């Protein structure tokens, strides 16, 4: 009887896991199908939509690279994401450390205020930010996005790193101070190596958030050569009521697969960075 119950539990567990895996992988499968299907196969209602009813084609991928500036959009996105990650790390890590070590109600109030700024919707901020970007002469360049995106990555990442630093016992720093380290030396040599998981979470979060953002990109960038990938693909492959579905899915597939691989490679550290702040040191 116990073996039968264990068998049922294991079967149920595997069923749930396989179901979730299929659910998570289905969008990638659908993008793959749409990317390499012929137009006749895509629009023929009598065909089975989940299979290749005709031989696959590279036409949509070729159109994406030959008839649009997709390579330039991809490069712009990588530059923007890298710059945003660097700015976010330089601001969020020291700010989170400072707040985690402050005593009294001031630190708690400040941390809540920082997190609340993350909840302000972009639709309320893009008008005043437009004035700032215009005065700085960054209009219609992707450097405007490099300046704007940290406004929503830094608050959340600061709050995240603050919780992570709180999980690190203060005794470790005090021991480093006793051994002759300065406060900065203890932070660089002791605290930062223990905070790799939190910083990795900041990197993944800020990079992916800058990759998928659309409102600010649509507001501040209009020239085709300066567009990031999300804006370029959506504006140049949707013309009125005509959707270039194959090329759209090709662009989405090329952009999403590397991100999914990175998430899976660093999944353990990413989860540790997310949950580390929940541990009270």
The predicted pLDDT at position 104 comes to: 61
Supply the DSSP symbol for 279.
S
Quick check: is 245 in a domain? yes
b or e along 66-86 (b: 16 or more beta carbons within 10 Å of the residue's beta carbon)?
eebbbeebbebbeebbebbbe
CA distance 262 to 23: 19
The DSSP H or E segment spanning 143 is helix 143-148
The predicted pLDDT at position 181 comes to: 80
Half-sphere exposure of 8 (CA within 13 A, CB side): 5
CA distance 248 to 153: 27
Select from 214, 87, 98, 96 the least CA-distant residue to 153: 87
Quick check: is 24 in a domain? no
Q: What is the mean pLDDT, run by run of 10 residues, along the chain of 281 residues? A: 75 88 89 90 86 89 90 92 94 88 71 77 81 87 91 87 82 80 82 84 87 87 88 84 87 84 70 53 43
Name the domain count of the chain.
Answer: 1
For residue 174, give its domain range: 59-276
Quick check: is 116 in a domain? yes
Quick check: is 136 in a domain? yes
Quick check: is 105 in a domain? yes
Q: Residue 63 maps to which CATH number? A: 1.10.3720.10
Select from 163, 182, 157 the least CA-distant residue to 91: 157
- Token pair, residue 18, equals 């396989």
The DSSP H or E segment spanning 165 is helix 150-166
The predicted pLDDT at position 53 comes to: 87
- Token pair, residue 188, equals 């660089």
- Token pair, residue 27, equals 């969008």
CA distance 205 to 263: 10
The predicted pLDDT at position 280 comes to: 45
């Amino acid at each position: 009887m116990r073996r039968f119950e264990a068998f049922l539990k294991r079967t149920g567990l595997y069923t749930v896991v396989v179901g979730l895996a299929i659910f998570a992988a289905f969008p990638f499968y659908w993008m793959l199908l749409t990317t390499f299907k012929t137009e006749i196969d895509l629009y023929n209602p009598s065909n089975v939509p989940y299979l290749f009813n005709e031989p696959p084609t590279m036409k949509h991928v070729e159109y994406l690279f030959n008839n649009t500036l997709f390579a330039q959009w991809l490069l712009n996105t990588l530059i923007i994401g890298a710059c945003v990650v660097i700015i976010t790390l330089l601001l969020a890590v020291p700010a989170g450390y400072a707040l985690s070590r402050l005593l009294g109600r001031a630190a708690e109030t400040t941390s809540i205020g920082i997190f609340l700024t993350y909840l302000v919707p972009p639709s309320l901020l893009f008008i005043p930010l437009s004035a700032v970007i215009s005065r700085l002469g960054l209009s219609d360049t992707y450097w405007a996005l490099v300046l704007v995106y940290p406004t929503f990555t830094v608050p959340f990442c600061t709050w995240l790193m603050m919780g992570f630093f709180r999980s690190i016992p203060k005794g470790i720093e005090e021991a480093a101070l006793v051994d002759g380290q300065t406060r900065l030396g203890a932070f660089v040599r002791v605290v930062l190596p223990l905070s790799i998981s939190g910083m990795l979470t900041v990197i993944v979060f800020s990079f992916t958030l800058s990759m998928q953002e659309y409102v600010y990109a649509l507001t501040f960038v209009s020239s085709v050569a300066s567009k990031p990938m999300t804006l370029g693909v959506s504006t140049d492959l949707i013309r009125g009521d005509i959707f270039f579905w194959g090329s759209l899915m090709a662009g989405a597939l090329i952009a999403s697969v590397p991100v999914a691989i990175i998430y899976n490679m660093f999944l353990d550290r990413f989860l540790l960075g997310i949950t580390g702040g929940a541990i009270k040191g």
